[in-house]
Structure 1
Amino acid sequence: MFAQATLETVLSALPAGYLLLDLSRQVVFVSERFSIACHGSPLPTVGSPLPATLLPQAVQQRLDQPDNKGLTLPAHGLLLEWLVTPLRDGWLISVREDRHAFRTLVDNSPDIITRYDLELRCRFINNTLSNFSPTPAAEHIGRTLEERRLPAQLKDAIRHNAQQVIASGKPQRFISELSLPQRLYVFESRLLPEFDDAGQLQSLLSIDRDISEQHATRLWEADENRLLEMIANDRPLQEVMGWTCQMIENQLSGAMCSIMLLDEAGERLYLAAAPSLASEYKEAIDGLRIGEGIGSCGTAAQRGEMVIVSDIASDPLWQDYRELAAAHRLHACWSLPILAQDGKVLGTFGLYHDRPCAPDSQALDIVRRTSHLMAIAIQQEQRATALYRLATQDGLTGLANRRHFLDLASQRFKEARYLGKPFSLLMMDIDHFKRVNDGHGHEGGDVVLQAFAQCVKSTLRASDLVCRMGGEEFAAILPDTPASEALVVAKRLRNAIAALPIAHQDHPIPITVSIGVASLSPACRELSELIRHADQALYQAKAKGRNRVCVAESL
């Protein structure tokens, strides 16, 4: 009896679970730790027969053919190590978790698995840590959060959530970040309480899963959706392109984004957005002529295909711009042409880096998708601009049309009256224009109208507004211009038109202009009054022989 009691005491103190059977296979003793084999079922009762389903079949067979070799069997998600030891008056069956197999599984897990004591001292950490830290896992063992030299933000997140687990006894889930020189890692962390047999909290188990790619994908999708909303809501193109550069730079660490638009002639690229490039560099490349060997963007626009320069210092495409790039520490540049639906080049989408590098598949996918969205935004802007031109401009001369002119002139007129500023109006008519059409055809007439319009625009100020009222009749408003100055401007314009060299099919077409001038006075209350008086002055100039300027009488 003493020997039996001593054996049971010893077995109960050991880490494995034990079951003693007599020769009739009745239960003589069972330790509490044997419950790992029962998976929630009650332990067998001492003095009762061995339950038929308690032991795995392979272990049952060992009772018939006993040996001293261990068995490792899966059970309920665990790997259990069994040993059947034959005794003189029965069997001793032991079971424990296969610690070696557990350690193998843990060390091959893609997650970082850490065990902390209640003072947050690291008691165990698997080798997965080496994927994210140059410090060996063994050097973390036995150290506190401070001693492990973790980033402050990460330490605070672990400490805060550990306090929540200790206080509540419930698991916590949180997102943490680890910023390393090469990239930013994002982890989904789970902090689990571990209890002893008495139900007392004894440690915390942390499982940190790298979700950097999923996190980046979610951010990218959110940014991309915002970009689509901006395009759909007709936000200004400049705003859309600025947001796009910011979006890409957030997504691709270290990248400096640029968007350049090709001019209507298809010859030069003009910078539209590049928030992270130096001002001096932006000035140097603005208006870059496209062509083979003109950097990444000039070449991409010329070829109509992507150009990847991973090392500017050695790539021949940058031969003429190598010093410029080096002065601003630019060492790689990938450029993708922005293409319209018909394949026409609209501009370029460029990514600069401060180190030699080539894009991976993820970066290429992001750049291509963004380039496609930029093409949509640019074409939408071009269509809107074209519609605006149709609604506001004369198709032949490019000047404001009558309706648009009257709208703007009315606003300027009201502002001048309200502020008490001078304001003048010119009404112009090309002399003997019917003779031009009769002698040179309508094509010759169109040439004259276009030349006349260009001459007027170049002679007047940028703040002045010129329009084609219809046929050969034109008008211009001169803000902040009193009558005396308006007369000088009109005479200068008449002389410029008379000296204008116009030819059609090698035949010169001399023209002159008659101009009527009217200026705002206190008595004038409507733009229509000013136009009527300018018209009267114009008729007076024509009646006096044309090719002259007449000023309306005081209003």
Structure 2
Amino acid sequence: MSEAHHPDFLDQTPYPAFVIRRNGSILAANAPACALLLYSSEQLPSLTIWDLIAPEQHALFQQTDQLPHQPPVLAHEWLMLDSQQKMIPVNATITRLQEDLLGIELRDLRPIKESRKSYQRQSAILRAVADASYQLFRSAQPDEVIPQVLAQLGEAADVSRVYLFENHWENGARLLTSQRYEWCAEGIEPQINNPNLQNFDYLERGFTHFYETLQRGEVLAAKVRDLPPAEQAELAPQGILSILALPIFIQRQFWGFIGFDECRSERTWKPYEVDTLRTAANLLGAFFERRKTETALRASEELYRLLIENQGLGVALVDDQENFLFANPETEKLFGVSEGEMVGRNLSEFLPPDQMQIVLEQTALRRKGFRSQYEVEIVLPNQQRRILSIHATPHFDEQGQFIGAFGVFNDITEQKRMEQRIRNLLMIEQSHRRESEALREAISILIHDLSSQQAAQQVLRGLEKIIPYDRCALYLEENGKFRLAAKTGYLTSNPPETFPVYHPLLSEYFKPNCGTWFFNQLQEQNLLDLLRENTPGISWMVIPLKWNNRLIGLLWLVRDVSHAFRPAETTLAETFAGPAALSIQNSRLFTQARRLAKVDALTGLLNRRSIFEAGERELLRAQRYAEPFSLLVIDLDHFKAVNDRHGHLIGDVLLKKVARRMKSALRRSDLIGRPGGDEFIILLVRTTAQEAVLTAERLLGALRERPYRMNGALHRITASIGVASVTEDAPTTLQNLIHRADEAMYAAKQKGGNQVQQG
């Protein structure tokens, strides 16, 4: 075969191939070889075979010197280098074409090796799941078996981190989740002690997509960069690039989830991985369900013992959130509910706030293992009050975790009433003092730390306890319009943001003495349009909220088709409306009081305390994110002479006008405050020293561009401004920045004022 005939060899094979000399120089290559190694057909002939195979495998090629003429074939497994210096495993078949020419045919081994790796991983995961099944059903102690199971699953799946989260309710109102167990691969930072992963609120932290996916029983398998921004912001700091989360259900309730993180590189989760690991999640669910059943069995045995020992008394079991899990008929009679209606309700539904506080203090003792006897006053559904003596016993699971309490109830109302009559006769004056103090404390508790948003959410949560609904919206009156303040239950639609108080469709229902009203099987399209509801046949209830006989807002409740409102529920609604209106009014007063506590009463700017707190906060943020930050200290020139000549009343009016003019010359992100007198501090976020000087010059121009006319006289106002900025060469504090700016301001004063100086 002559050298000119070597293209025949390249054309006859569908695989990547070369023709080379025995010294390693490449004469020609076919298109598959160029595609495999990422070279052009012009580039390859300029290389040698030594450039394309790993150095440690040069000796394999040199064995071709021993290649016999018959059969003229030799096969090796090589690691070849592409144009990006990436290793490619190949099977190389070397054929002697003639004395000095060799033909090399390559077969890419990556698909075979990847398939083999996937098979090995799948087998490892299956073995790990099988081992987990054996361990979970051999042991009842989660602290012993769960860490082993997570380690086996993590090593088999070749992931960075495996963890287990458990859901729990806060006061029966907020669904939270907390990390309970974790396994990490070598070199991966653990997160088990991360406080952000304890009592994690799915919805408040922006994990709505995450929660809804798992709550539906679906798997979340994704690259973190493809998730919603709020979820990215939480997961990225943990070093997570790809995540697989599988829900765990117990008795059809979303109990929690098992998660798998990949922190080393992005990963696409294979279907066999998801399916097999989902089996592991189901096994964990079965394990915890078995523990729950065993715990319930022990509780039933304890209840039976109590029932035998306390015949004729009320006996009940509550969980750690004071929800009734069991109540005997005598307990239902004591609390004034029908047979079978006690389970699932919360003790707080029957207790005033001060009495509920007593229960919570007693529960704190129960968590420590103490039994006790105490008394509370309950309110029955008919508003009758009853005093109960409670003998409480703690209830723990096999791990020693507090999960609730047993209570034995005895009605001592008549006994207490007699005792009270005697005390009233002997200590009337002392009783009055106690009642006055109790009233003061109750009012203090009622208004403590309330905000408008908290009050709105409390109203929605409280209403749900007495009148079930599918969707609910709270509107507050503002300048002749109802404005949406809070909503819940709206998943695919939203109620209107605003509508007039005297809407033509609703005006007849909002008369001064109008109470709660509702429609069942609503068909009118104009009302459905107002509600932004698409399905005829829904039920709609409206509860007016009044304060001092003035309409301040309304609640509207929507139930889906076939769930009608009952007339008896309007009584519950109107009973609820008074406390709801009171809570909203208190929250408005509280919000107004908080705002006044932060601002300077004269100018409406931030006061001394608020501007200093804002300064500390903005400086810390600037240092954390390596952003520029500057501040200005401003003192009005010769302002004392204005007060001395024209009086403090004129001076105060001028200060207000100066404050408004300076504020109008700033960006919305800048913060301005008045520490006192005629001195001002301005915080310039994301502002360099040069930009801060320009801002100060602009403020000087704004002050002196036109004089202020007061009582027929013109007052020209100038100022001395000191500028200080964060520098990269040295750390600083807010006090240091203010001191530098203050020194610069005094330097401006000494030079005649009406100018800017840098500190």
Larger Rg: 1
